[in-house]
Structure 1
Amino acid sequence: MLLIKCPWCGERAESEFAAGGEAGIVRPVNPESLSDEAWGDYLFMRQNKRGLQHEQWQHIHGCRRWFTVYRDTVSYAFQEVAESVREGGAA
């Protein structure tokens, strides 16, 4: 079983968490001015790189808070965990 360290609750089983995808995606300031291609890129295009990736996770069966991690996509090892300002739902 994989253990993930929640910044607020400590180590818990992976089954208590949900992955929220790549972290650091910034919503465009004026989305109505984007072309369909640019809007599609914002919504769907992600790096999905091999190796260390910055991701966001939510402790869904615990404190329900969001946090960011650096996770190695090859070994699945969590390298660093940080608190996030995002709480209570999708951005």
Structure 2
Amino acid sequence: MLQIDCPHCGKRPENEFHCGGQSHIQRPALDCSDEEWGDYMFNRDNPKGDSAERWRHSFGCGRWFNMVRSTVTHEIKAIYRMTDPRPEIKA
């Protein structure tokens, strides 16, 4: 089981958390085309390697945070608050 270091509560077991999908998605302008809106609503990246994801500490503080995690090894590379930019990860 993964141990996730909540930026608000500290290290907790993975089963206390819920993944909310891809992070840093920008909502399009109100006057966007149907294709742009459909892309925003339904298409997400599915990388092999590092992925920026939103996570919620569901059975703890209830707050959201971002995590960069390898989709291959499940290694957690970075955890940061929702308002912080994605950190640069050195290979």
For Structure 1 versus Structure 2, the TM-score category normalised by the shorter chain is 0.7 to 0.9
Is 1:59 paired with 2:57? Answer: yes
Task: State the Cα RMSD in Å.
Answer: 1.0
Superposition TM-score, scaled by structure 2 size: 0.85
| Aligned equivalent of 1:7 | 7
Give CA deviations for 1:43-85 in whole Å, capped at 9, x if unaligned.
1111110000111100010001110011000001110000114
> Aligned letter for 2:78?
E
Partner of 2:18: 18
Identity percentage of aligned residues: 46
Decide which of 70, 73, 76 is 1:75's aligned counterpart: 73
Displacement of 1:36: 2.1
Gaps of 5+ in 1: 86-91
- Misfit runs of 4+, over 3 Å: none
Matched, 1:35 2:33: yes
Other structure's SS at 1:49 match: coil
Number of residue-to-residue matches in the alignment: 83
TM-score (norm 1): 0.85
Name the one with the larger strand percent: 1
